[in-house]
Structure 1
Amino acid sequence: MNEEKDTIELMENGHSIYLPHLSIDCVIFGYHEQQLKVLLLKWKNRNRWSLPGGFIKNEENLRTAASRILKERTGLDDIFLQQFHTFGEPTRSERSPEDVEHLSSITNTPLDMEHWLLKRTVSICYYAVTEFSKVDPQPDFLSEQCEWQEIDRLPELIFDHRDMIEEALKTLRLHIYHQPIGYNLLSEKFTLPEIHDLYETILGKALDRRNFAKKLLSLGLIKKLNERKSIGAHRSPYLYKFDKRKYEKALKSGIVLVI
């Protein structure tokens, strides 16, 4: 995808290609070995950070637009994706004249500033989860960096993007009780400590190891394999895997993981 060409098209003919005043922002969470991070973009020549996002093409539905943005930044197709909130406060997307001038200098194109940059934009937000060690983040045409940042050590963010992250994290912590989020964050085969650490990290609280494992097994959400993982002398814990069929059946019948 030629993002420079797309950006020029946006600035010159945005009204004929994209829906006006409506955008998508994506909170992409990454998990790896008890670390939870979020993917951020750093603007070119400015110490400003933002979430990955973009406008919606006229022929796209919302999920298609969000999936396109995710693939551009992560290169991934098969990723858990969930719409969670819409942000539309009247002053949420105000830009200073310096911001507008900066964008103009980067694109080197005439800007329809009144239409695209100086008016209110409503943002539909999605969150996604992935294993961040498998991702090679890619900046867009307007940014110089695209990288994972620790969830509790975020840099200064533009507009209401910090609020978006906080709302996404709150939603993720609710959904993990009744969504198959772990499929994207663990290997196909995993140990009980590994899935326990995943839930503890996302929920941000300690969980009783024994009760947590008993609950997963009693609901049939995971199954024990006749295989062990060798992780050192005298340490060979059993491996487990998600029972996807039972998990999906449990979700449809309204079973919630209470831990």
Structure 2
Amino acid sequence: MEYKKQVQRLIQEFKTDFLPSVSVDLVIFGFHDGQLKVLLLRWKNTEDWCLPGGRIRHEESLDDAAYRSLHGRTGLTEIFLQQFHTFGDTRRYVHFSQEQTMLRLGLAEEDLQEFSNRDVSVGYYALVEFANVVPTPDFFTDECRWWDINQVPPLLFDHNDMITLALKTLRRQLTYQPIGYNLLPEKFTMPDLQQLYETILGQSLDRRNFQKRMLGYDILERLEERKTGGAHKAPYLYRFDKEKYEKALADEILFVG
């Protein structure tokens, strides 16, 4: 009974507090130790998976709604989040049986209408260090966890297409913006940075060319320290010059040729 009351309360909030027929969906990529993953939600009492997201409040910007949803699922704040596409195809719900799924969520038939309209969804992507994330499901889901980018199951709605396009957009981002801040330790080696780029790009990069290119952007500070514990000659440690890094983000200079 308490669950049904909460459902009714949420449905009333959807009707009064949120914009109708528009939502945000988040493709949250996680990087850690040479792996790239994506955060997914499993709906209550089902094996149906989807991306995190939500509706936009009347007095809330799209970006604020996306950050609110991101924080709710990950516990993180102040991370890179970027809008990448608006999804409005008439067949967005081709992989979704609203009656079957909503009834399994415990909704009454009269409640289905609130969930049956086709939303236009604004897609955002983020790139985080997934070891820092506390995956947290929402009211309508039982599980929130990471999936390897190459093992994503068939998802509800058009969310597989969203992930594909978000990854393409992220890879294009490497041509005009730096990545690595908040994804690597404060001090890291050039091989650590190259591994990050190779993981996202899904391909190997020439070591010498990569190092020359990255140093040429003048966003790294080489320290006098070397990494300890390796069997071979220890590489130098680097860190990002935060001021120059943020300027490179703002200027969108060409990064990878």
**1:12/1:110 contact within 8 Å kept:** no
Q: Offset at 1:111?
A: 5.0
**1:12/1:111 contact within 8 Å kept:** no
C-alpha deviations, 1:154-183, integer Å up to 9, x for none? Answer: 112001000000010000001123223311
Q: What is the distance in 2 between the residues matched to 1:208 and 1:72?
A: 39
Residue ranges of structure 1 left out of the alignment (5+ in a row): none
Residue ranges of structure 2 left out of the alignment (5+ in a row): none
Q: Offset at 1:231?
A: 2.6
C-alpha deviations, 1:98-149, integer Å up to 9, x for none? Answer: 123223x1xx6785433x2122111111001100111121111111111000
**Structure 1 residues 152 and 238, CA gap change in structure 2 (3 angstroms):** same
Q: What is the distance in 2 between the residues matched to 1:34 and 1:210?
A: 20
**Structure 1 residues 5 and 65, CA gap change in structure 2 (3 angstroms):** farther
Q: Offset at 1:83?
A: 0.4
Q: In the alignment, does 2:34 pair up with 1:34? A: yes
* Structure-to-structure mapping, 1:136-147, within 5 angstroms: 136-147=134-145
**Structure 1 residues 251 and 79, CA gap change in structure 2 (3 angstroms):** closer
* Structural RMSD (CA): 2.1
What TM-score do you get using the length of structure 2 for normalisation? 0.91
* Structure-to-structure mapping, 1:100-111, within 5 angstroms: 100-103=102-105, 105=106, 111=110
Partner of 2:73: 73
Matched to 1:208, the amino acid is D
Q: What is the distance in 2 between the residues matched to 1:252 and 1:10?
A: 39
Partner of 1:134: 132
Q: Offset at 1:227?
A: 1.1
Q: What is the distance in 2 between the residues matched to 1:232 and 1:99?
A: 52
Partner of 2:100: 98
**1:95/1:118 contact within 8 Å kept:** no
Partner of 1:57: 57
* Structure-to-structure mapping, 1:1-259, within 5 angstroms: 8-93=8-93, 95-103=97-105, 105=106, 111-114=110-113, 116-259=114-257
Q: What is the distance in 1 between the residues matched to 2:206 and 2:71?
A: 37
Q: What is the distance in 2 between the residues matched to 1:4 and 1:218?
A: 59
Q: What is the distance in 2 between the residues matched to 1:199 and 1:118?
A: 40
Q: Offset at 1:14?
A: 1.8
Q: What is the distance in 1 between the residues matched to 2:125 and 2:190?
A: 26
**2:23/2:122 contact within 8 Å kept:** yes
**1:86/1:125 contact within 8 Å kept:** yes
